[in-house]
Amino acid sequence: MSDQAWYRDLARPINHAARTAAEARNQRLTKPAGSLGRLESIAVDFAGWQGDERPGVPRPVIRIFAGDHGVCSRNVSAYPQEVTAQMIANFLAGGAAISVLATQNDADLGIVNLGTVVPESGTAIYAELVAALNGSGPRFADLQLMPGTDDFVDGPAMPAVVCEAAMAAGRDQVTAVAADGPSIFVGGEMGIGNTTAASALCSLLLDLPPSDTVGPGTGVTGDALAAKRDVVQQALDRHRADVSDAVDGLARLGGLEIAGLVGAYIACAQQGIPVLVDGFITSAAAVTAVNINPGVAPWLCFSHRSAEPAHVTVLRHLNAEPLVDFGMRLGEGSGSALVVPLLQSAVALHSQMATFDEAGVSDQ
């Protein structure tokens, strides 16, 4: 993979002049200094992201990337693999948690199938659902780059060219909305077995043992959890010495949907769109994206602390302080979608409140 690849292009710089102006404006608003707590620093972040002392209220763009995992043949999940494709249909039909939250937030929701194991006849269900919705449902891209990844204990999860295609698919989702005005990007994922892939990536990139990165995921406990950790250790033993960089590591140990998220996050930083990171899987994608392109880091905002144990470790590595901790671990981008209104309120308060001078209120 060439060092001249698009994903190594520089990220857009944060506008520090706008941040400074926003900080000054915040001190003049009709409220005691610091009384809105973290909402104030969020608004300043948006000023830096948008390059405007009074940023516009962001519109949420939600993209769910889906893909299956060959490592599921080793019984690393409490759910059967066909659930991935079934959940894609559920997203399209509006029955998933993220579907409800996207509607509540009036979000631009899209689903991207990067590769599932369902037979070709199964994908006809997607087409039927999309046709029945007649344009009223979420956007849908049925790319099917390969029928799920390969078992990464036996070899690389995917060929390098497929990994790059999945990253490019994430980039393309961002490029398509980059000119639509102030927005915030929420990446979600669906893929039975993807906590195993995320754990393997975190172990590789953060140099951590599987005991620190492998958690219950869909509900794996006891001997099954120990076996899941052993699977990740076997994968690390097979690949670690040969990994050339983070992109190679992603191809060897990641998932199609994780690669899609990585590409989307990098593209957001390049296009100047802030990212609201969800839980453990998306944070593993964030670690990977930052490793590939360090300029991504200032464009990341972390929505919540997942109940998946390793998420705390990943957040610490990224120096990230999530907005809420509700004990969630659903994925799909649901934790991020839940806190979108908090971010919108922070920006609205900062940009629309009157200053002491404007309101004729004494600040003494």
Residues above pLDDT 70, as percent of the chain: 98
Tokens 């769109």 belong to residue: 273
Is pLDDT above 80 for 202? yes
pLDDT at 2 over 80: no
User: What is the mean pLDDT of the segment spanning 70-89?
Assistant: 92
**CATH 3.40.50.300 for the 57-344 domain, yes or no:** no
For residue range 136-178, what is the model confidence (pLDDT) as tens digits? 889 999 999 999 999 999 999 999 999 999 999 999 999 999 9
Among this protein's residues, is 128 annotated catalytic? no
Report the percentage of the chain scoring pLDDT > 90: 87
What per-residue confidence (pLDDT) applies to 18?
Answer: 98
Phi-psi category of 266—alpha, beta or left, where left has phi over 0 and alpha has psi -120 to 50? alpha
pLDDT tens digits, residue range 207-263?
Answer: 999 999 998 887 888 888 999 999 999 999 999 999 999 999 999 999 999 999 999
User: For 57-78, what is the mean pLDDT?
Assistant: 95
pLDDT digits (tens, 9 = 90+) for 121-139: 667 788 888 888 888 889 9
DSSP state of 29: B
For 257-319, the DSSP string reads HHHHHHHHHHHHHHHT--EEE-SHHHHHHHHHHHHH-GGGGGGEEE-B--SSTHHHHHHHHTT
Q: What confidence score (pLDDT) does residue 122 get? A: 67
The pTM (predicted TM-score) of the whole model is: 0.96
Residue 97 has pLDDT above 70, yes or no: yes
Q: Could you tell me the pLDDT band of residue 330, with boundaries at 50, 70 and 90?
A: very high
Q: What is the pLDDT of residue 136?
A: 84
Residue 3 has pLDDT above 60, yes or no: no
pLDDT tens figures, 346-362: 999 999 999 999 999 98
Helices (H) and strands (E) in the chain, counts: 15, 6
How far CA 234 is from CA of 160, 196, 219, 281, 309, in Å, comes to: 21, 12, 21, 20, 21
Answer for the pair 218, 196: CB distance below 8 angstroms, yes or no: no
User: Domain map of the chain by residue range?
Assistant: 57-344
Catalytic residue among 189, 257, 308, 332: 332
Q: Which pLDDT belongs to residue 78? A: 86
pLDDT at 1: 43
Residue 331, pLDDT above cutoff 80? yes
